[in-house]
């Protein structure tokens, strides 16, 4: 059963066995496993309930409806936009449906560095099988690959670089190109169409427009969840919520899960809470090709091909190096990719059809921290403190140069990026300008679509927040199943890693294994 906030007319008091906080990749999987094991389950989602019929394929309407902070959530210095879904289905509604596993080197790194010997490919295999089947993961069909992405593959093949087509969790995709705005055709198999309806069918009660404010520990290992029914859109308080339960499964995401735990006073004895955040920052690049070379970046699968020649994944550090991926479908956001205004900018935008868009992904080490403040409007204001390391900055510049060189090789005439101060590169002999690229607040707009860490797995409370079964070290019956548990960045796309980790832990919990 799905109960939307506007259907609640009085303070809500409930008793249940399990409460799942959040309905995205981790929350959806957890809700399904709890319900399928016969536990009375309540899911609380702060965002609204939207369906395919609500998605109008327009950024200005869908970002406020579906994204945390209308897509304007940033690090405290404003340099990195941290995109997270905040709706029924969480980020699985707004991602580009790319399905990548946790890289083998990452698991090795976690084993070597953090002693996480239970997280092996063998131990995760059954979870992959279950998740892939539920999400219909398969290689993207050729028919929905667009020129915007294929130019990366063609150029990589010509240069002898590694590149490939993503696996995806789509079903009957028409290739409209609006994944970032929610799928209007129910093709993207997010938790909104898979795990949550399955959980609902099994008896889970899913409340949308309900924010969790804090958790109170009752006697024994029981808890009371305090929350608020909020108005959709404004998220203004409407009614209080109290739910007594025996088990809490946190899946509010890397930013809000630690905020709720801290607000509840559960940070005592958890020195790593809110630390070790990876943002995996990326920069958007645009490359103008000749008039006749139409990229039509807004149609077809937006992010379907990667160029991975410069990945440097190792057991010593996990993900490393840098890579390029095609991206498309956001005329409003992409119009920022240059430093110009006036007639110069209009001339550039007139070439939108023959402009190729890519993201340069540069994996980072977990150096960010999270804190929060309780705003006067009653909302939690997350504060993500993050400063790129010097090593990362140098690798970013190497990546930018390489990507620009690659795009010129592909036939680009002019290359821009999401910096309002850095001018276009019009030939390969200008690449040295990138040495002075300003990676500073206000000078560049980076994006993080894969925020991780903040409640990382560790063998004990000194080094981690949860154990390998994703239970809090300092309290019984509280679990964390979102991206916050990743000790380092798990993969270039994090939906599948989150789901697989959640599936393993929740399947074990549900079946007492």
Partner 1 sequence: MDNNKQLPSATRRLFLQRSLMAMAAVAASPLMSAQELANAAIATPKLNILTADDYRILSVVSDTIIPRGGAFPLGALDIDLAARIDSYIEPEDTALIQGVRGALMFLEHKAPAIQGKEGLFSSMAAEEREALLLALRDAGGDAVAVYTALRGLCLFYFYTDEQAWPNIGYDGPLVKRDRPVYPQVEG
Three-state secondary structure call for residue 402: helix
Question: CA 280, 449, 471 angle in degrees (round to 5)?
Answer: 80
Q: What is the side-by-side strand order in the sheet with 478-480?
A: 2-3, 205-208, 41-45, 18-21, 247-250, 478-480
Among 341, 390, 512, 513, the residue binding partner 1 under the rule CB under 8 A is: 341
DSSP one-letter string for 252-284: SHHHHHHHHHHHTTTTTT-TTTT--BB---EEE
Helix-strand-coil percent breakdown of the chain, rounded to 5? 30, 25, 45
Instruction: Return the range that interacts with partner 1 (CB under 8 A); candidates 16-24, 122-130, 154-162, 339-347.
Output: 339-347
Cβ 382 to partner 1 shortest distance, Å: 13
Give me the least distance between CB of 383 and partner 1, in Å please: 13
User: Could you say which residues in the range 403-422 bind partner 1, by CB under 8 A?
Assistant: 420-421
477 lies in the site for partner 1, by CB under 8 A = no
Considering the rule CB under 8 A, would residue 3 count as an interface residue with partner 1?
Answer: no
Question: Least distance to partner 1 from the beta carbon of 245, Å?
Answer: 27
Q: Does 57 bind partner 1 (CB under 8 A)?
A: yes
Piece of 140-148, 306-314, 338-346, 466-474 that binds partner 1 (CB under 8 A): 338-346
Choosing from 2, 3, 6, 477, the residue that interacts with partner 1 (CB under 8 A) is: 6
Applying CB under 8 A, among 11, 15, 38, 56 the residue interacting with partner 1 is 56
Contact between 206 and 196 (Cβ < 8 Å): yes
- CA distance to 23, 193, 200, 213, 385, per residue, from 31 (Å): 8, 13, 9, 20, 31
Q: How far is the CB of 504 from partner 1 (least distance, A)?
A: 35
Round to whole Å and give the CA distance between 504 and 340: 49
- 238 near partner 1, judged by CB under 8 A: yes
Closest distance to partner 1 from the beta carbon of 43 (Å): 19
The site string for partner 1 over 68-107 (x = CB under 8 A, - otherwise) reads --x-x-----x-----------------------------
Please, which residue, 6 or 17, has the CB nearer to partner 1?
A: 6
Q: Which is nearer to partner 1, 120 or 237 (CB)?
A: 237
Element (H, E) at 217: strand 210-217
Cβ at position 76, least distance to partner 1 in Å: 12
Verify binding: residue 235, partner 1, rule CB under 8 A.
yes
Q: Which is nearer to partner 1, 175 or 487 (CB)?
A: 175
Rounded CA separation 309/150 (Å)? 16
Query: What is the rounded CA–CA span in Å between residue 130 and residue 134?
Result: 6
241 binds partner 1 (CB under 8 A): no
User: Smallest distance from the beta carbon of 152 to partner 1, in angstroms?
Assistant: 21
Measuring CA to CA, which residue among 28, 33, 67, 35 is closest to residue 50?
67
Strand ranges for 145-209 from DSSP E: 163-165, 167-168, 205-208
For the bound state, the minimum distance from the C-beta of residue 327 to partner 1, rounded and expressed in Å, comes to 16
Q: Which is nearer to partner 1, 9 or 133 (CB)?
A: 9
CB atoms within 10 A of CB 2: 17
Instruction: Please state, in angstroms and as integers, the Cα–Cα distance from residue 367 to each residue in 363, 387, 394, 498, following that order.
Output: 12, 8, 16, 20
For tokens 């549900």, what's the residue? 510
**Closer by beta carbon to partner 1, 335 or else 394:** 335
Does 2 bind partner 1 (CB under 8 A)? Our answer is no
Among 171, 224, 336, 508, binds partner 1 (CB under 8 A): 336
61 is an interface residue for partner 1 by CB under 8 A: yes
Distance, in Å, from the CA atom of 116 to the CA atom of 119, rounded to the nearest integer, reads: 6
**Rounded to an integer, what distance in angstroms lies between the CA atom of residue 328 and that of residue 265?**
42
378 forms part of the interface with partner 1 (CB under 8 A): no
- Residue 132: name the closest of 251, 29, 280 by CA: 29
CB 350 to partner 1: min, Å: 4
Choice from 50, 114, 372, 406 touching partner 1 (CB under 8 A): 50
14 touches partner 1 (CB under 8 A): no
Taking CB under 8 A as the criterion, the residue among 17, 315, 352, 409 binding partner 1 is: 352
Q: Is the dihedral of CA 375, 481, 64, 330 positive or negative?
A: positive
> Residue 320 and residue 364: Cα distance in Å, rounded?
7
What is the smallest separation between the CB atom of 352 and partner 1, expressed in angstroms? 4
Q: Which of 122, 133, 160, 234 binds partner 1 (CB under 8 A)?
A: 234
Span 253-292, contacts to partner 1 by CB under 8 A? none
Rounded to a whole number of angstroms, the minimum distance from the CB of residue 50 to partner 1 is 6
505 near 475, Cβ under 8 Å? no
Among 112, 123, 335, 389, binds partner 1 (CB under 8 A): 335
Comparing CA positions, the residue from 250, 255, 283 lying closest to residue 85 is 255
Token pair for residue 56?
């109008």
Q: Which of residues 171-190 bind partner 1 (CB under 8 A)?
A: 176, 178, 184
Q: Where do contacts with partner 1 occur on this chain (CB under 8 A)?
A: 4, 6, 9, 48, 50, 53-62, 64-65, 70, 72, 78, 176, 178, 184, 231-236, 238, 298, 331-333, 335-336, 339, 341-343, 345-347, 349-350, 352-353, 377, 420-421, 442-443, 445
């Amino acid at each position: 059963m799905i109960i939307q906030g506007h259907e609640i007319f009085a303070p809500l008091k409930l008793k249940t066995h399990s409460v799942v906080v959040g309905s995205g990749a981790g929350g959806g999987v957890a809700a399904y496993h709890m319900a399928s094991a016969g536990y009375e389950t309540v899911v609380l989602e702060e965002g609204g309930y939207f369906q395919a019929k609500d998605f109008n394929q327009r950024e200005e309407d869908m970002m406020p409806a579906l994204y945390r902070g209308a897509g304007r959530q940033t690090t405290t210095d404003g340099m990195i936009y941290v995109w997270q879904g905040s709706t029924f289905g969480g980020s699985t509604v707004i991602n580009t449906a790319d399905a990548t596993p946790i890289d083998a080197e990452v698991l090795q790194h976690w084993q070597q560095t953090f002693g996480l010997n239970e997280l092996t490919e063998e131990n995760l295999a059954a979870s992959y099988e279950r998740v892939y089947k539920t999400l219909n993961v398969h290689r993207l069909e050729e028919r929905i690959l667009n020129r915007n992405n294929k130019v990366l593959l063609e150029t990589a093949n010509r240069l002898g670089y590694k590149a490939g087509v993503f696996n995806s969790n789509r079903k009957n995709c028409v290739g409209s190109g609006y994944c970032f705005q929610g799928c209007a055709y129910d093709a993207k198999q997010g938790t909104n169409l898979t795990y949550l309806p399955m959980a609902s069918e099994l008896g889970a009660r899913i409340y949308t427009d309900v924010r969790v404010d804090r958790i109170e520990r009752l006697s024994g290992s029981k808890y009371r969840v305090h929350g608020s029914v909020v108005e959709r859109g404004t998220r203004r308080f409407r009614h209080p919520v109290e739910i007594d339960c025996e088990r809490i499964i946190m899946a509010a995401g890397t930013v809000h899960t630690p905020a709720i735990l801290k607000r509840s006073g559960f940070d005592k004895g958890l020195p790593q809470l809110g630390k070790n955040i990876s943002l995996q920052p990326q920069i958007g690049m645009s490359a103008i090709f000749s008039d006749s070379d139409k990229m039509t970046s807004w149609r077809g699968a937006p992010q379907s091909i990667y160029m991975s020649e410069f990945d440097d994944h190792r057991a010593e550090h996990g993900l490393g190096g840098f890579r390029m991926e095609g991206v498309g479908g956001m005329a409003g956001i992409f119009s920022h990719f240059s430093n110009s205004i006036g007639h110069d900018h209009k001339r550039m935008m007139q070439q939108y059809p023959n402009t190729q868009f890519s993201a340069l992904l540069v994996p980072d080490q977990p150096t960010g921290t999270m804190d929060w403040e309780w705003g006067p409007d009653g909302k939690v204001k997350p504060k993500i403190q993050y400063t790129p390391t010097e090593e990362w900055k140098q690798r970013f510049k190497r990546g930018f140069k390489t990507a620009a060189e690659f795009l010129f090789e592909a036939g680009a005439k002019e290359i821009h990026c999401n910096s309002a101060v850095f001018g276009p590169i019009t030939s390969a002999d200008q690449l040295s300008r990138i040495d002075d690229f300003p990676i500073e607040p206000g000078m560049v707009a980076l994006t993080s679509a894969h925020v991780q860490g903040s409640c990382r797995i560790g063998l004990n409370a000194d080094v981690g927040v949860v154990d390998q079964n994703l239970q809090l070290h300092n309290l019984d019956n509280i679990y964390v199943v979102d991206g916050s548990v990743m000790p380092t960045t798990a993969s270039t796309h994090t939906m599948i890693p989150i789901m697989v980790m959640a599936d393993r832990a929740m399947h074990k919990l549900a079946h007492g294994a």
